[in-house]
Structures are given as C-alpha cells and as structure tokens.
Amino acid sequence: MDARGPLCVGIDPHAALLAAWGLDDDVRGLETFTRTVVEALADRVAVVKPQSAFFERFGSRGIAVLETAVAELRRAGALVVMDAKRGDVGSTMAAYAETYLRPDAPLFSDALTVSPYLGYGSLAPAAELARESGTGLFVLALTSNPEGAEVQRAVREDGRSVGATMLARLAAENARELAAGAPLGSFGAVVGATLGDLSSFDLAVGGPLLAPGIGAQGATPADLPAVFGAAVRNVVPNVSRAVLRHGPDPAALRAAAERYAEEVRAAVAG
C-alpha cells in the first residue's frame, strides 16, 4: 500500500456491469471483463478483491477464469483477497481453507474473507492454515449491509455485542505476531465505511481493516477518519463499481483507481 497506494479494487463482474461495458452476460463476456481489469490494474493497485460469486455462477468455466485472474494478479505483485465469505465447521471449513489458502491450490490467494457466525472457533482450520501458508483472513465483523446489525449489534449475556466480540477475538489472534515484531497481524476485520461513528467499538485488532462501502454505496475517502478514528491507518478501503464503471477503457480504469488511492492517502494523512 505504501508503494502502490492505499486501495483495494474489487472485481465484481455482475450482469449490469457487463452490459454497461457492452459485453454479453456469458463466459466470454466474463473473460473479457476480467482480463481487461487485470491487465489495467494488476501492476498498479496494492490489493485486488475478486468476488467469487460472480465467477461461480458460470460454473467450471467461470472458475477457470477466476483461477487465471488470481495467478496473473499475484504474478504482477498485487495482493489478492478472495471475497468468498466462507464459514462452516470442522473438515468442511478445512476444505474451504485449502481451496484458497493452500499454496499449491489453483485459487491460492493472499487472504480470504470468512464468516464467523457459526462461532469464531469454527474458523480455527482456516486460521491454522493461514499461519502455515503465510496468508491471512478478513473476518466479517461490522458489515455495511443494513441487515448485518441484526446479528452483529446483538448484545451477549456479558454485555458485549457480537461484533465487538469478533473484534476482540481478532485482537487475541494477532497478539502473537505483534509480540514477535510484526507491524500488523495477518487476521483482519471487515468493517463497513458506511457505518458512521464507530468509536464505541475497539477497532485496534492488530490487523488490517477491510472497508467496503466507498463509491457506489455512498461513503467517500474523506469519511474514513470519522468512521475509523485512530485505526484509520490500518484501513484497506475497497472500491468496486466506482472504479469498474470507467471500463472498458484501461486508461480510464487506471486513472479512477489512482484518483481514489490519492484521495484515501490525503484523507488518512490529514
């Protein structure tokens, strides 16, 4: 992020965006869209976040497009966060982890989004493999969708909200790496940039904070300090449609990403 700018760009090839680019809603359109984004941004953007669902809907051929994109992004030096939001228990969670976090896996990524709402402990197989492989997790904690509050803001018997509990578990997860001198731990939280003042939550989890909601969902880079407070320097802001709508022109995609990165840098520095 220091070298390329503090920004994560999503690859979200949903049907409306394919149509806006003049592409058919089929595997060929998906491949053209994805290849254009990768070629435009892979060597310039710090973090890229493919949304797995938009590839999965085309079956095995869509997954093949995703495999190629992940490999090319990583080869060009971008960090890949696979947005798959996996969450399960036992051997099933372990299998999901192996799909994305095992170094010889076709979809091997630098980090994976996961859901802890079968209990934080259910993520243990993914956390263990992340440590072994030098990768990381982004755990859904305080998400930007309105429905999320129904679970995440619910208060436990100990008086702490479920979302706050997940943040505390992440802080404990990162403590070992921080004690060893790492600037950040490998276990981050997903915290929406649209949520307003979050000063009642302890966002100092010792890891990065993936922040969706900038652009199409209404948040701006200038909002970040007010939302994240002292933790703002650990934020990885995610922008998807607000950058992707500038395609299919590669130069326009690059310019949009660079503009957002500069706006984030200025907001954080201020």
Which pLDDT belongs to residue 130? Answer: 98
Tokens describing residue 172: 């404990």
Report whether 169 contacts 120 (CB < 8 A): yes
| Contacts (Cβ under 8 Å, ≥6 apart) of 95 | none
Which pLDDT belongs to residue 166? Answer: 98
Q: What is the CATH number of the domain that holds 136?
A: 3.20.20.70
Q: Is residue 108 part of a domain?
A: yes
Number of domains into which the chain is organized = 1
49 counts as catalytic = no
Which pLDDT belongs to residue 14? Answer: 95
Q: Structural domain of residue 14, as residue ranges? A: 8-269
User: Could you tell me the CA-to-CA distances from 51 to 93, 228, 241 in Å, in that order?
Assistant: 19, 24, 12
Which pLDDT belongs to residue 55? Answer: 98
Q: Is residue 92 part of a domain?
A: yes
Say whether 188 sits in a helix, a strand or coil. Answer: strand
Which pLDDT belongs to residue 35? Answer: 98
Report whether 260 contacts 33 (CB < 8 A): no
Q: What letter would DSSP give residue 233?
A: G
CB atoms within 10 A of CB 50: 26
Q: Is residue 16 part of a domain?
A: yes
Q: Is residue 1 part of a domain?
A: no
Report whether 6 contacts 261 (CB < 8 A): yes
Report whether 213 contacts 194 (CB < 8 A): yes
pTM of the model: 0.97
Report whether 8 contacts 48 (CB < 8 A): yes
Among 35, 74, 85, 259, the one annotated catalytic: 85
Q: Is residue 124 part of a domain?
A: yes
- Pairing outcome for strands 187-191 and 209-211: parallel
- Of the candidates 229, 243, 213, the one whose C-alpha atom is nearest the C-alpha of residue 143 is 213
Report whether 189 contacts 207 (CB < 8 A): yes
- Which contiguous run of DSSP H or E holds residue 142? strand 136-142
**Predicted confidence (pLDDT) per residue in 29-67, tens digit:** 999 999 999 999 999 999 999 999 999 999 999 999 999
Q: Is residue 2 part of a domain?
A: no
Q: Is residue 138 part of a domain?
A: yes
Q: Taking the chain (270 residues) in consecutive chunks of 10 residues, what is each chunk's mean pLDDT?
A: 95 97 98 98 98 98 98 98 98 98 98 97 98 98 95 96 98 96 96 95 97 90 96 96 97 97 91
